[in-house]
Chains A and B, each alone.
Chain A
Amino acid sequence: MNELATKKFKASDYKSALKPVWCPGCGDYHVLLSVTQALAKLKLQPENVAVVSGIGCSSRIPAYINSYGFHSIHGRGLTVATGVKVARPELTVIAAGGDGDGFSIGGNHFLHACRRNTDMTYIVMDNEVYGMTKGQPSPTTDPSWDSALSPGGTGLSPFHPLVIALASGANFIARTFSGDVKGTASIIADAIEHPGFSFVQILSPCVTFRPDQKVWKEQVHEAVVPETDDPGRAARRLMTDDGFNTGVLYRGQRKPYRFACGEEKGDIAEIQKQFEV
């Protein structure tokens, strides 16, 4: 134990040897770096961390991190992560994925994960596009964005993940920009440490299908108003912000989900007495 206590934790210790499938310049490289920096900052043993994802470009992240990981199926990362956390409460559980995975096919799980408030962190790398399937509009895409699947745009008003997270009961809500590696790392570490369900939206540009997102780095700005634990204030702020406001935007006080998992105790012979006539 002493050896561990004095061990130096470096971000590179949390990087696996596997080369990402991402395009050169993808924002997700920065997110990967931020996650490893956050884990190093918190001095977490790699084996005590589980990173769980669904399907999509960003959902490839577990295999790039030196920790336990689960690259599950499209939209279900949060549910697998919930199972891991309930079964093994002592682990640090991070769910990660993209906007299509989390807000479209996995939308129902997003609502209920916020509601359930299990003590874990959910990172969404939001690039407002389905990248792995080569450029279709996602729930966060601008209504007029043209694509082969929805020529002329979807005409649908974009999903507002932070507002929905708040309304559904998430206990920590933040937005960051992938290009700000240090700031993102610090917010991820904060999210991990905060009890309950923490949601971090990371604006992570897609250089291939959304070259227009190059301007994001000029558009993002740090929130000037201090963070709040008042859901009413947070709701007004989130509803009116421009989508580029970064920082911790809500830090709630809800108690995390409690579950009864404990040590093996009791006796099957006691339980079966209820069937005896």
Chain B
Amino acid sequence: MTDNDHNRSVSLAMVGSGGAGVMTSGSMMLEAATRAGLYGLMTRTVGPQIRGGEAAALLRLAAKPVHCVDDTFDILVAVDWKGAERFAAEVPLGPDSLIVTDPAAGAVPEILAASGARVIEVPIGALAETVEGGRANMVILGLVSALIGLDEDPIYEIIAKKLGKKGDAAVTASRQAVAAGYEAVAELSSPVTVSPAQAGENRWLISGNQAAGFGALRGGIRFVAAYPITPATEVLEWMSPNLPKVGGTLVQAEDELASINMAIGASFGGRPSLTATSGPGLSLMMEGIGLAVSSETPVVIVNVMRGGPSTGIPTKSEQTDLNIAVYGLHGDAPHIVTAATSVEDCIFTTQWTVHLAEAMQTAAITLSDQFMGQASAVIDPPANISFMAQRLVEPEPVEGFMRYAVTESGVSPMSLPGTAGGQYTADGLEHNPKGLPSTLMEDHRDQMDKRDRKVSEFNYGDHWADVEGEESSELVVLTWGSTTNAVREGLERLNAEGISAKLVAMRLLSPAVPKQFDAALEGAKRILVVEQSHSGQFLKLLRANYDLPGEVRSFRRAGPLIIRPGEIVDTVKNWRVQ
């Protein structure tokens, strides 16, 4: 890292009401930039409308991998300004920013103009009309490419790839519209340009939701029960056509109560199973998740968080399903809660979570969020991880087989239907080691002990958190989930200024791992806890489970405004010791 690295990215917002095609422009831009050797991240902000309504594709491109959004946007291009006031807060601009607007769209809204950004007018719509079949979103693609110094060639390659099947006329029209945009701003000075470090080799373009699906598949998931919900549906839609390629299947269920319980049934049958949902669906699944815990049936729940409570803000991100994931089950119900720390990490964390659920024969909830789930990122090909579903199965049960035998590890060999001599009834009723219903204090104690032991004494290795930075730093920043990326970049910037801090981004949220935690926080005198939650759910989880040494501060706010690296920098710099 050199001190100016964070400036060597460019942040773009392409704005237009739904139907204007800005999402298409954004996706094509990201793919073209990838071909040119850049990395990038694209998020989207949309209103609640099914079609139409305000929409913006938000991109950040750089010569190194990009995991979070920057503090301000360098360039904002608008086809129109419909509903712009509703996302203005998500596209912060500054005096160095550039607004490109079509004079036909009217004046730049005051809320954006107040930033002091330079405004240039380009007749985007009129330029599109000069081309037969030309569209404004393609003009935007051309002019943005020109402004950031990106070659036209990769754009044309993507046009040929994406529009080829629509025929030559469509390809030609798009090329001409791109060229028109390119020429329109060729003479203009740009606030920032990016140049690729090197051409990319086999880089991947993947969304967090696809990454979760892929990680699940790689971990051995072969059955999925699905009920659609924003913003988790893409996990299911990605898995549906890909599962059959490895002998798996997906069933669309009638509701979330059905999807969790179908997954439990399939897992009882021997197939590693998963469902994916978001807050409201997770609430409905709670009783089923408890059944998985009690019956010791492995099951994985991918929960892509959105703003809550209740229906909340379905299309925007928040980290507020932590409480329900950890505490939502009735009774004492030891289970696993994990969270990915980036789009890319959705692969690893989901795969790891499958491994944990299968190895410990319990329910495992893995938390992602709308920001990660629906963001597309350019990543280096991920390392192959050896974790696979490895369930302790009894292939040849002998006379007296006990499904819930009390073992040292707490994990008991499981017999699968079809195996003679292994017959048992899985039960949500408390049971004895044979699986027969029991109300005896001793059975309840022993089974409770074993279900707790298998989870609390499991060896989670180094994967419980990403611990980064100076070993001896007296400042530790604790965070989790997608917020990790803003913190990581903020700390890199501080480091470049000679301020050292340690990052502890927790991947394992339940059970607690005090030994590893204490080691990571050794020598800490100041602790900053960062999260996207109004009530400080993560801070409370930490306080309930761990000793937090020194002075503890919380930097948090509710969604949907995501936390930006500059805010971490400012918080640390403005820390006055009390």
Contacts and interface: CB of A to CB of B under 8 A. Distances in A.
Interface string A48-63: 1010100100000011
Given A47-B419, A48-B418, A84-B269, A261 B258 contact: no
Given A18-B436, A47-B423, A275 B246 contact: no
A194 B418 CA distance: 21
Contact of A87 (B255, B273, B437): B273
Interface in A220-277: 259-266, 268, 270-272, 275-277
B267 interface: yes
A207 interface: no
B510 to A, nearest CB: 22
Interface string B280-311: 00000001101100010000000000000000
A275 B205 contact: yes
A270 B420 CA distance: 37
A82 B265 contact: yes
A164 to B, nearest CB: 15
| Interface size range of chain A in the complex | 35 or more
A81 interface: yes
B200 A277 contact: yes
Contacts of B290: 73
B34 to A, nearest CB: 5
A63 B436 contact: yes
Contacts of A260: 243-244, 248-249
B414 to A, nearest CB: 11
Contact of A83 (B35, B222, B266): B266
Contact of A80 (B243, B244, B261, B422): B261
Nearest to B426: A70
Given A71-B426, A72-B428, A83 B261 contact: yes
Contacts of A262: 244, 247
A212 interface: no
Interface of A: 18, 45-48, 50, 52, 55, 62-63, 66-73, 75-76, 79-88, 90-91, 108-109, 111-112, 259-266, 268, 270-272, 275-277
B182 interface: no
Contact of A88 (B210, B257, B259, B269): B269
B502 interface: no
29 contacts: A48-B418, A50-B269, A63-B436, A67-B423, A69-B423, A71-B425, A71-B427, A71-B429, A72-B265, A72-B428, A76-B291, A79-B253, A81-B265, A83-B263, A83-B266, A84-B266, A84-B269, A86-B249, A87-B223, A87-B269, A88-B269, A91-B269, A108-B257, A109-B258, A259-B249, A259-B251, A261-B223, A266-B245, A277-B203
Interface in B354-407: 378, 381
Interface of B: 31, 34-35, 200, 202-206, 210, 214, 217-218, 222-223, 225, 242-249, 251, 253-255, 257-259, 261-271, 273, 287-288, 290-291, 295, 378, 381, 417-429, 435-437
Contact of B218 (A82, A88, A268, A277): A268
A86 B418 contact: no
Which of B202, B251, B288 is packed against the most chain A CB atoms within 10 Å?
Answer: B251
A72 B265 CA distance: 9
A79 B242 CA distance: 23
Please provide the 3 A-B residue pairs with the shortest distance between their CB atoms, ordered closest to farther.
Answer: A83-B265, A69-B425, A87-B269
Contacts of A87: 223, 265-271, 273
Contacts of A71: 425-429, 437
Contact of A73 (B200, B266, B273, B287): B287
A11 B577 CA distance: 78
Given A47-B418, A87-B266, A76 B204 contact: no
Nearest to B31: A277
A266 B266 CA distance: 21
B142 to A, nearest CB: 20
B223 A83 contact: yes
B258 A276 contact: no
Which of B242, B266, B420, B425 gathers most chain A CB within 10 Å? Answer: B425
Contact of A275 (B206, B225, B267, B417): B206
Given A63-B425, A79-B253, A84 B268 contact: yes
Contacts of A84: 265-266, 268-269, 417
A124 to B, nearest CB: 18
